[in-house]
Structure 1
Amino acid sequence: MIRFQQVTKQYGSKTALKDLNLEIKTGEIFGFLGHNGAGKSTTIKSLVSVIEPTSGTIFVDGQSLTENRLAIKKRIGYVPDTPDMFLALTAGEYWDLIAAAYEMTPADKARRLRKLGDLFDMNHHHEETLSSFSHGMRQKAILIGALLPDPDIWILDEPMTGLDPQASYDLKEMMKQHAARGKTVIFSTHVLDTAQQLCDELAILKAGELIYNGTTDDLLATSPGESLEAIYLNMAGRKADHELVADLEESVHE
């Protein structure tokens, strides 16, 4: 189980995340929803130790992240919200770096890399630099790196962005299988259909504050017959969105 206890992140006078209290169970797919700037990436980056919260504590299976950072990081595979990193490296060099960081054996690395390379159609691109790849291919390279050591906890920030339909489908199937093995998948997305399809539980953030945490089914039950998109926008969107749309349509027809 992963637990956020009173986690706050401030940048000067701006509060990016305020007093977050949240539990993520082992063996589930957990989704973060929210508009840009809602605090999703801040939460994720705090968990993967990219940034340090201003206050509060994060626990992973009862261990404080601050006090057990290296051990916990070795259990995590992380896909950031942009794949534009390590661009001077070839894909093979990047995967070698990840394998070394996680202390993988050559045999395990070769087996996993062959499997993931086949799945994402990347086995013929080892010698090409990440800078030469399209956005989607960079995303695949970063995904392969994150999943290469077969970590217990997958943390994926907008992982489907740029992926082709086959790669997106395959990743979603892998996420389901990982959770079915009793492991944890955490991801953020703006694609509400994907969240509705995959997530066991959801957290919705707005302006750095948690406004919903619970199962997807329970959230849908709050407004029978409504889509997740409609429920989400009612909670996290502009309250007058429907009025703005109506005004726009009226002006178009004048």
Structure 2
Amino acid sequence: MLKVEKMTGGYLNIPVLKDLSFEVADGELVGLIGLNGAGKSTTIKEIIGLLTPYQGDISIDDVTLSRDKVAYRRKIGFIPETPSLYEELTLREHLETVAMAYDIPVKTALERAQSLLELFRLADKLDWFPVNFSKGMKQKVMITCAFIVEPRLLIVDEPFLGLDPVAINDLTDLLNKEKAKGTSILMSTHVLDSAEKMCDRFVILHQGQVCAQGTLADLRQDFGQMDASLNDIYMVLTKEV
């Protein structure tokens, strides 16, 4: 379980987030929703440890960065919005690097990756360098690297950008399987129609604050219209704040 408690943070002398509190339970997919500049990326950076909160606590299964930095980071799998690969490493070497970083035997990591590589039609491209990959293929490499660590918390930032319809369907199936295994999933997205179908709950950010959170039924009740879409609710909430 991910717990964010009364977190305030941002960049040096530039506070972005104000008193954020939310949770992602085991086996739950929570959508992190917000306009550009709402604080979604900053929230993710605080959780994965690229930024340090000014105040508040972040824990995964009751482990914090301050208590056990290595154990905390090994619990996280991260799929960024923009693929980031090492140009001098092949696909195989990327998998091996991830294995070493997470202290996973290389053989085990490659075995875990095999079904994913076949799913994403990358199994015959292990010796390819990133220069040979399309943007969508690079994103599939990032997805594979995140899944082979078997994370307790999976953070997915705009997961469907650059993916073809078949890959979107494949990734959706993978996320559902991770939920069934008990993985906590935090997904940041602008695609509200997809989020409405996939997510169990939502955390809506506006100007660095949580302006609403809960299931779609909870939000509809607060909104006062039981047939409102997530997009309808979001538009009203962000106008009112």
**TM-score over 0.5 for the alignment?**
yes
Q: Which residue of 1 aligns with 2:233?
A: 231
Distance in 1 separating the partners of 2:65 and 2:37:
24
Deviates more, 1:94-103 or 1:127-136: 127-136
Distance in 1 separating the partners of 2:194 and 2:9:
28
Counterpart AA for 2:128 = E
Map Cα deviations across residues 203-248 of structure 1 (whole Å, 9 max, x no partner).
0001111101111222234322222111111112x57xxxxxxxxx
Asked whether the equivalents of residues 88 and 131 of structure 1 are also in contact (C-alpha less than 8 Å), the reply is no
Asked whether the equivalents of residues 201 and 214 of structure 1 are also in contact (C-alpha less than 8 Å), the reply is yes
Counting only pairs closer than 5 Å after superposition, residues 106-117 of structure 1 correspond to structure 2 as 106-117=106-117
Map Cα deviations across residues 92-140 of structure 1 (whole Å, 9 max, x no partner).
2111100111222244223211111011111122222223322111111
Counterpart AA for 1:48 = I
Counterpart AA for 2:18 = K
Counterpart AA for 2:161 = T
Q: Which residue of 1 aligns with 2:58?
A: 58
C-alpha deviation, 1:142, in angstroms: 0.7
Counterpart AA for 1:224 = M
**Can you give the 5+ residue segments of structure 1 that lack an aligned partner in the other structure?**
240-254
Distance in 2 separating the partners of 1:233 and 1:168:
26
C-alpha deviation, 1:186, in angstroms: 1.1
Counterpart AA for 2:231 = E
Distance in 2 separating the partners of 1:160 and 1:66:
33
Distance in 1 separating the partners of 2:16 and 2:133:
32
C-alpha deviation, 1:23, in angstroms: 1.9
Distance in 1 separating the partners of 2:13 and 2:111:
49
Asked whether the equivalents of residues 58 and 64 of structure 1 are also in contact (C-alpha less than 8 Å), the reply is yes
Deviates more, 1:218-227 or 1:24-33: 218-227
Asked whether the equivalents of residues 32 and 189 of structure 2 are also in contact (C-alpha less than 8 Å), the reply is yes
Cα separation, partners in 2 of 1:10 and 1:51, compared to 1, 3 Å: closer
Distance in 1 separating the partners of 2:114 and 2:10:
42
RMSD between aligned residues: 1.7
Counterpart AA for 1:182 = G
Asked whether the equivalents of residues 76 and 151 of structure 1 are also in contact (C-alpha less than 8 Å), the reply is yes
Counterpart AA for 1:211 = C
Map Cα deviations across residues 7-55 of structure 1 (whole Å, 9 max, x no partner).
1123345321111112221120111000111111111111111222222
Distance in 2 separating the partners of 1:12 and 1:75:
27
Q: Which residue of 2 aligns with 1:193?
A: 193
Aligned identity (percent) is 35
Normalized against structure 1, the TM-score is what?
0.88
Asked whether the equivalents of residues 41 and 81 of structure 1 are also in contact (C-alpha less than 8 Å), the reply is no
Asked whether the equivalents of residues 31 and 188 of structure 2 are also in contact (C-alpha less than 8 Å), the reply is yes
**Can you give the 5+ residue segments of structure 2 that lack an aligned partner in the other structure?**
none
Question: SS where residue 150 of structure 2 aligns?
Answer: coil
Q: Which residue of 1 aligns with 2:83?
A: 83
Asked whether the equivalents of residues 45 and 51 of structure 1 are also in contact (C-alpha less than 8 Å), the reply is yes
Asked whether the equivalents of residues 11 and 51 of structure 2 are also in contact (C-alpha less than 8 Å), the reply is no
Deviates more, 1:219-228 or 1:34-43: 219-228
Distance in 2 separating the partners of 1:131 and 1:211:
42
Counterpart AA for 2:234 = Y
- Residues matched between the structures, number: 238
Alignment partner of 1:30 is 2:30? yes
User: Larger radius of gyration, structure 1 or 2?
Assistant: 1
Q: Which residue of 1 aligns with 2:127?
A: 127
Question: SS where residue 154 of structure 1 aligns?
Answer: strand
Counterpart AA for 1:174 = L
Q: Which residue of 1 aligns with 2:145?
A: 145
Cα separation, partners in 2 of 1:36 and 1:87, compared to 1, 3 Å: farther
Counterpart AA for 1:142 = M
Alignment partner of 1:42 is 2:5? no
